[in-house]
Structure 1
Amino acid sequence: MTGRRTVLKGVLAASGAAAEPGVLAARPLAGRAGPYTTPVQLRWLGVAGWEIVIGGDRSILFDPYLSRMPCRDRGGMLDPTLPLRPDPAMVERVAAQHLAAAPELVLLSHGHFDHVADVPQLVARPAWRQARIRTVCDETVRYLLTAMGAPRSRMDDVIQVRGGEYLQFDGYTVEVFRSLHSQLADHGCFAPGRRLTPPRRPTVLGDLVEGETLAYLVSVDDGPSVLLMGASNFVERELAGIRPDVVLVPMSSHGAVHRYVERLLTAVGNPPLLIPTHHDDLDTPLVANPARLAASVQPTAAKELSRAAASGSRVLSPRHLRPVAVTTALS
């Protein structure tokens, strides 16, 4: 894929429902127009989690967190002392009803509960037993997954990274970038830390520590490229000069990060399509009624992105579990 980006047409559609028109944008294919040879769908799983569906039947998961377990104290603050209690029934229900296929890759940005707590169950699903599932993560997350009981067979397939890797797969590539975690108002971070050896089995939210935060650029052959981030911060010099077609922009706490949104969009060339993510409340169940689930989303996230977006960019607000289809390039 070479050349400058042009406007794409796509849809925000629910399975079995009428398509709702949207406007996407991406880098054009060299010397041609029309439908991508490889269409891509993006499905928001809530928090920072996404499924990328390539060609209709190949899946990549990013930070899949489906349990939505209680995580706040009475004052509404994240409480690292609360028990770590994934919801196996909810994880299985969402996976069975909404995920397209067994994932080829599970990309993990860092070790916090709302990014990795459900991964051991997902990679061990009986329905996916025959599929090869490779997990891409840093050393800390690898140890945490082991401590949470991820199957040994799956852990043998972990690709341990630290940023800088450029990985070739069948039909797409994955670039790994060093990144940073969001900062709270006082410039701190929830559950910081690293693990250099396997810890005891985690029992509270704070046992799942950050590790090294990573970002990923998934570039599909004859399809769009998608930048995935798990937190509202980044290393500017790492991302400067890349030109993704779609950026999934985390919009959790970033008031302590200098001009976060503006610097990010400038660093990656004012991408054609911006989609806010990590902007819901972490604990409203994914099977809640639509009005309640919609109310869990911060309404200011898309507005903030729109204010910062360049004139050639579009902002699309995702809906939980409903796919965004990136299908057509027009030159």
Structure 2
Amino acid sequence: MAERRSVLKGVLAASGAALAGVGTSAAAPLPGRRGPYSTPVELRWLGVSGWEIVIDGDRSIVFDPYLSRMPCLGPTGALDPGLPLRTDRAAVERVAERHLAGAPELILVSHGHFDHVADVPQLLGRPEWRRNRIRTVCDETVRHLLTAMGTPPERVADVIQVRGGEYLQFDGYTVEVFRSLHSQLADHGSFAPGRRAAPPRRPVTLGDLVEGETLAFQVSVDSGPRILLMGASNFVERELAGIRPDVALVPMTSHGAVHRYVERLLSATGNPPLLIPTHHDDLTAPLGAGLAAGDTGPSAAERLSRLAPGDCRVLDPGPLRPVDLRTAFA
């Protein structure tokens, strides 16, 4: 992977001379963009940063599935780590039964916070999926949290524990794992930091689900698109520099403490041709036709459009509505 990244950086350095003095809004096409795609791929937004990638109509990869949408804000309107962890089993089952393509082959988890991992144990324990092998790709903290939350032991045994830097081959697609960062609050702090080196007691509050190591992923489908998945509005620029996703799912939670987050992300990844905002809803409104925005003012799609180059398309997702990537670039 280091060799591949160095080659890409060399290409970028050569391109930079030709583009000197040109801002990202006028960047020329960069190497590695592909299409049209012969492999059918659909995306489905599950709310917050959750997504399902459906390959060939029935093969499913799920990222950060959080469907409970439990109360999480204190009296001041900020996330309250002391609130009880109250998963909504009926809501999780309803989405899994009615909207997901079936048992996922992979569940990718970016970090350990409640709005990313709380519903993973229930999904892994669904009786309807018992005969299907489901691999979970996550860091050590998330693996221990899954155990503490009662995930079936055979599912925990199938966890692929990663740290960032892994390049994983699967049947028909690859998954690259990148070291990443969590978004920061206005005072530069973060919600529920911490790591777990062993399974803790069973989590009972939101803050018991600690961050661990935040990760990002790129799923590259054979004869299909490359999709960048992030679970927070921050990243390690040197980790992503030189990758060329065709689709970037861009978290748009508050990131005022992070210097030029969107601009640096788009520059590092070569201005992906399709940008989709994510993690911009209010975390609690029922998952349906529309979700309340997490803040006031311009929509996440409008804010992203203002910062994106003119040759990038920004798509405003609707929850649970499939996006066909064979036509989404038009």
Tell me the alpha carbon deviations over residues 210-235 of structure 1, each in whole angstroms, 9 at most, x when there is no partner: 00000000000000000000000000
Cα distance in 2 for partners of 1:201, 1:233 equals: 29
Deviation for aligned residue 1:118: 0.2
Give % identity. Answer: 75
Relative to structure 1, the CA distance from residue 324 to residue 243 in structure 2 (aligned partners, 3 Å threshold; closer, same or farther) is same
| Structure-2 residue corresponding to 1:178 | 179
For the residue of structure 1 that corresponds to 2:203, the secondary structure is: coil
In structure 2, what is the equivalent of residue 27 of structure 1? 33
Structure 2 partner of 1:315: 314
Aligned pair 1:54/2:51, yes or no? no
SS at the partner of 2:122?
helix
- Displacement, 1:297? 5.7
- Secondary structure of 2:250's aligned partner: strand
The one-letter code matched in structure 2 to 1:180 is L
Question: Displacement, 1:304?
Answer: 1.6
Greater length-normalized contact order (CA 8 Å, ≥ 6 residues apart): 1
- Post-superposition Cα deviations, 1:13-47, rounded to whole Å, max 9, x if no partner, equal xxxxxxxxxxxxx9325xxxx5x221100000000
Q: Which amino acid aligns with 1:170?
A: D
1:28–1:329 CA contact under 8 A, matched in 2: no
Tell me the amino acid that sits aligned with residue 154 of structure 2.
Answer: S
Aligned to 1:303: 302
User: Amino acid of the residue matched to residue 313 of structure 2?
Assistant: R
**Does 124-133 or 110-119 show the bigger shift?**
124-133
SS in 2 for 1:159: strand
Post-superposition offset of 1:296: 3.6
Q: Is the 8 A contact 2:249 2:278 kept in 1?
A: yes
| Mapping of residues 272-283 of structure 1, within 5 Å | 272-283=273-284
In the other structure, the counterpart of 1:327 is 326
Deviations 1:133-167 (A, max 9, x none): 00000000000010000000100100000000000
Uncovered stretches (5+) of structure 2, i.e. residues with no partner: 1-31
Q: Deviations over 1:58-81 (max 9, x none)?
A: 000000000000001122110000
> d(CA) in 2 for partners of 1:79 and 1:235?
27
Structure 1: 5+ residue stretches without partners: 1-25
Question: What is the root-mean-square deviation in Å for CA atoms of aligned residues?
Answer: 1.9
Q: Secondary structure of the residue that 1:114 maps to in structure 2?
A: helix
SS at match of 2:267: helix
Q: Is the Cα contact below 8 Å between 1:217 and 1:244 reproduced in 2?
A: yes
Amino acid at match of 1:301: A
Within-5 A mapping of 1:114-193? 114-193=115-194
The equivalent of 1:231 in structure 2 is: 232
What corresponds to 1:20 in structure 2? Answer: none
- C-alpha contact 1:28 1:330 (8 A) present in aligned 2: no
**Alignment of structure 1 residues 55-134 onto 2, 5 Å:** 55-134=56-135
Map 1:205-224 → 2, pairs under 5 A: 205-224=206-225
Q: Distance in 1 between matches of 2:119 and 2:292?
A: 24
Query: Would the aligned equivalents of 2:283 and 2:294 in 1 still touch at CA under 8 Å?
Result: no
Deviations 1:168-215 (A, max 9, x none): 000000000000000000000000000011100000000000000000
- Following TM superposition, where does structure 1 have runs of at least 4 consecutive aligned residues deviating by more than 2 angstroms? 26-29, 293-300, 328-331
* Paired residue secondary structure (2:94): helix
Provide Cα deviations, 1:225-274, integer angstroms capped at 9, x if missing partner. 00000000000000000000000000011000000000000000001000
- Counterparts of 1:294 and 1:105, CA distance in 2: 26
**Deviation per CA, 1:267-290, whole angstroms, max 9, x where unpaired?**
000010000000000011114xx3
Aligned pair count reads: 299
Q: Which amino acid aligns with 1:300?
A: S
Q: CA deviation at 1:330?
A: 9.4
Distance (Å, rounded) in 2 between the aligned partners of 1:148 and 1:329 = 38
| Contact kept? 1:111, 1:211, Cα under 8 Å | yes
Q: Is the 8 A contact 1:284 1:296 kept in 2?
A: no
Higher strand share: 1
